[in-house]
Amino acid sequence: MTQHTSDPRTAQLQAATQSREWDFIVVGGGASGLGTAVEAATRGYSVLLLEGHDYAKGTSSRSTKLVHGGVRYLAQGNVSLVREALHERGLLRKNAPHLVHDLEFVVPGYTWWSAPFYGIGLKMYDLLAGKLNLGSSRYLDKQAALHRIPTLQNEGLTGGILYFDGQFDDARLAITLLRTLEDFGGVALNHAPVTGLIKDGGQVRGVRFRDEETGQEHAARARVVVNATGVWVDDVRKMEDPSIKPMLSPSQGVHVVVDRKFLPGNSAIMIPRTDDGRVLFAVPWHDHVVIGTTDTAVPDTSFEPRPLPEEIDFILRTAGRYMSPAPTRDDVKSVYVGLRPLVKPADASDTKAISRDHTVVISDGGLVTLTGGKWTTYRRMGEDTVNKAEKVAGLPGRVSTTQALHLHGWSDEEQPDHWKVYGTDAWRIQELPGADQPLHPALPYTEAEVRWAARFESARTVEDVLARRLRAQLLDARASMEAAPRVAALLAEELGQDEAWQRQQVQEYREVTQGYLLPTQS
């Protein structure tokens, strides 16, 4: 097969390795890194972003798919955090309507006191959102609750509360931020892990990184380096000071994905208090249902964290009390796990928490580390980080413009669910070869989308395509494994690779995706 175009990575690598001093180098291509890079680029700074694997490979593609204020934080009394998140939710809804939409949630009640109790809390939620509120919460009687969610457990149901939050596609937002960064002149490179920091007189002034595709090492210099690597921030901090104390104590959150029949209609379920005191969501997403999550402390970080058997049992057992029929292990299409970068209570002498959910730390050598936080507040995290990094870099400081920034592809037109995430790019994809060729009968995607991912979205591997450019790995792990050979062939054609590369790609993808099936299914 001949290669369709010159490989876009060649130009990206040339731009990343030119001999110059960048204003900002951002390490990490998840929510926090991309948010910081877009913030800096839109202020007119020169920005290089380096990602060791793929954009949103870690936690940023494994969320509960909600843009929300955090009902749970309200119950904990953390009003300022909820107010900030609700404000950011409203901004993101305006800045990326092709990726974020309103979603109705039903809190089912099975005791006489539950509806008034949760109703009061959710009225507070409405008030904190102010003029950016998505809709007013209200009481539902039993019939109204069942009308919205026919599969609610009928026995003992007294009614419920209806409230509104936002929903999005996390990895697609990451790719949209990547495209936005490039629109503003930023340079980004994935599959380019940072292997060390460059210091001048004890100050961090750049990084060394390896191009995974050639094995070549490169150096890049900058006025300031931002470490935004999520649950891996301590690894980068140790490159500067091997004796440093870890900042994080990570925990993992597990989600299972089941068929839409378990939650027909357009409403989600919010279970306000599980056995372990968390909230559990069942959310319609891309014509499937995501149920989660858990909160389990983990001793170490992995790029492919795995669920514990008891976490799966907990999710299915809890969901089964509220859903009829109850989903079973046999119904699980995919299971995925995200790691949360939870910040340990910090020593006030060397760190400053900006809001209570994300933290920006500046080392003695000027390495700026951003960690904590969640997707909903990615923009605010980036703004706070760039404000601090400007001072470290000795830059004069420029005003943030991201509050009203339309992200790449901005469109508020109605489109079918699976094309909508591309915004105004959708029609361009539909003009590519294979736009009418489905990749797999159980998946909504087409061959043209694979070509687009390779040409314009920096997809380099079968996993990049099936896990994050398309969401096949999460929607139906087995179907995605069956689609892998065709994806490998299309990518090989786009990137000029041979059949041996295709075989290796398929094997690697199947090995990693095996972990998204429950053990009894494999």
Of 340, 366, 394, the one marking the end of a domain is 340
Q: Which two structure tokens, joined as six digits, stand for 59?
A: 């936690």
Is residue 70 domain-shared with residue 163, that is, in the same domain? yes
Is residue 121 domain-shared with residue 183, that is, in the same domain? no
Cβ of 130: how many Cβ atoms within 10 Å?
11
With H, G, I as helix, E, B as strand and everything else as coil, classify residue 384: helix
What integer pLDDT is reported at residue 5 of this predicted model? 55
* Residue 156 to residue 153: CA distance in whole angstroms: 8
* Pair 37, 26: CB distance under 8 Å: yes
How many residues make up the chain in this entry? 522
CATH number at residue 398: 3.50.50.60
CA distances from 44 to 186, 222, 223 (A): 9, 15, 14
CATH number at residue 270: 3.30.9.10
* Residue 271 to residue 319: CA distance in whole angstroms: 8
Q: Which domain holds residue 495?
A: 430-521
Is residue 160 domain-shared with residue 255, that is, in the same domain? yes
Is residue 228 domain-shared with residue 360, that is, in the same domain? yes
* Pair 409, 177: CB distance under 8 Å: no
* Residue 7: inside a domain: no
* Residue 159: inside a domain: yes
* Residue 186: inside a domain: yes
Instruction: Report which DSSP code applies to 247.
Output: -
95-111 pLDDT, tens digit each: 999 999 999 999 999 98
* Residue 31: inside a domain: yes
For 360, half-sphere exposure in the C-beta direction (CA atoms, 13 angstrom radius) is 21
* Pair 269, 323: CB distance under 8 Å: yes
* Residue 352 to residue 354: CA distance in whole angstroms: 6
Cβ of 447: how many Cβ atoms within 10 Å?
19
* Pair 187, 349: CB distance under 8 Å: no
Cβ of 520: how many Cβ atoms within 10 Å?
8
Of 340, 356, 383, the one marking the end of a domain is 340
Identify each DSSP E strand in 5-92 by its residue range.
Answer: 21-27, 47-50, 66-67
**Angle of helix 447-456 versus helix 477-495 axis, rounded to 10:** 50
Among 328, 303, 330, CA closest to 313: 328
Cβ of 12: how many Cβ atoms within 10 Å?
17
* Residue 442 to residue 479: CA distance in whole angstroms: 6
Mean pLDDT, 10 residues at a time, the chain of 522 residues? 66 95 98 98 98 97 95 82 94 97 96 87 93 93 97 96 97 98 98 98 97 97 98 97 92 96 95 84 97 91 93 96 96 96 62 57 97 95 98 96 98 87 96 97 97 98 98 98 98 97 98 92 46
Is residue 69 domain-shared with residue 157, that is, in the same domain? yes
Among 435, 508, 522, 513, CA closest to 480: 513
Is residue 41 domain-shared with residue 113, that is, in the same domain? no
Is residue 238 domain-shared with residue 361, that is, in the same domain? yes
Q: What share of the chain is helix, strand, coil (3-state, %, to 5)?
A: 40, 25, 35
> Quick one: CA torsion of 314, 316, 321, 327, rounded to 10 degrees?
180
The count of structural domains within the chain is 3
Of 404, 421, 451, the one marking the end of a domain is 404
Main-chain dihedrals φ then ψ at residue 516, nearest 5 degrees: -95, -5
Is residue 22 domain-shared with residue 39, that is, in the same domain? yes
* Pair 296, 311: CB distance under 8 Å: yes
* Residue 268 to residue 255: CA distance in whole angstroms: 15
Among 309, 308, 292, CA closest to 257: 292
* Pair 191, 51: CB distance under 8 Å: yes
Is residue 312 domain-shared with residue 352, that is, in the same domain? no
| Cα 406 off chain centre by | 19
With H, G, I as helix, E, B as strand and everything else as coil, classify residue 111: coil
Among 379, 29, 386, CA closest to 230: 29
